[in-house]
Amino acid sequence: MKSSTRTVATCGVMGALSAAIMFIGGILPLATYTAPAISGIFLLPVALELGLRSGFMMYAVVSLLSLFVVADKEMALTFIFFLGFYPLLKQIFDKIDKKTLRIVIKLVVFNVCIFSMYSLILYVFPIGIVVNEFAEYAPWFLILLVVLANITFVIYDMALTRITWLYLKKYRSRIMKGRR
């Protein structure tokens, strides 16, 4: 099999898995954040094997599909605004030598993306159910949500590190069998 054929096949399979998780997540009411997080993980093998460019192309395709076919628009926007591209961006951030600077940059990017997404959802293209939900919350509760979101992001970042290691050490040879 030619290299370009393998590239298309790898992207197609991983993209289909990612899009399927997003579609199924749109049906399940509690999957607003877990489905995009899992879908983003399927971008890792593409980026690791075929390069970041292929990973970002696949992210764009799955994002577009999610926007049109996923019923839960908040979930689709969560994938588009952060959880879809973060596993790819993480590979770039992890090359920063200073751990403190690396963590600060990751947290700043996370908060800018999430605040941008919710600003869009609440003020530009309001999604009624989300606007009503936020209107019911007390300000202290919203602050607590932001703190918990940042803690959850740090845990997700650590999980991505371990998932990447697991893929490279245990599953890469099985998945990419016959590539070389």
Q: What is the pLDDT of residues 78-130, one digit of tens each?
A: 999 999 999 999 999 999 999 999 999 999 999 999 999 999 998 888 888 88
- Taking residues 23-28, report their average pLDDT: 88
Q: Which residues does 167 contact at the CB level (< 8 Å), separation at least 6? A: 44, 45, 48, 175
pLDDT of residue 120: 92
pLDDT of residue 179: 55
CB 78 within 8 A of CB 36: yes
pLDDT of residue 1: 43
CB 87 within 8 A of CB 41: yes
CB 10 within 8 A of CB 45: yes
Give the pTM. Answer: 0.88
For the chain, give the percent of residues with pLDDT over 90.
65
Query: Above 80 in pLDDT, residue 21?
Result: yes
- Taking residues 128-147, report their average pLDDT: 90
Count H helices and E strands in the chain, helices first: 10, 0
Distance CA 28, CA 21 (A): 11
Distance CA 46, CA 54 (A): 7
Token pair of 9 as six digits: 């096949």
Q: Which residues does 166 contact at the CB level (< 8 Å), separation at least 6? A: none
Interior/surface letters 56-76, b for 16+ CB within 10 angstroms, e for the rest: bebbeebbebbeeebebbbbb
pLDDT of residue 178: 55
**Which residue has better confidence, 2 or 110?**
110
Distance CA 47, CA 27 (A): 28
pLDDT tens digits for range 31-46 = 889 999 999 999 999 9
pLDDT of residue 177: 66
Structural domain boundaries of the chain?
Answer: 3-175
CATH number for 3-175 (one of 1.10.1760, 3.40.50, 1.10.150, 2.60.40): it is: 1.10.1760
Which of 23, 100, 93, 14 has its CA nearest to residue 57?
14
- Taking residues 136-156, report their average pLDDT: 94
Mean pLDDT of the residues in the chain: 90
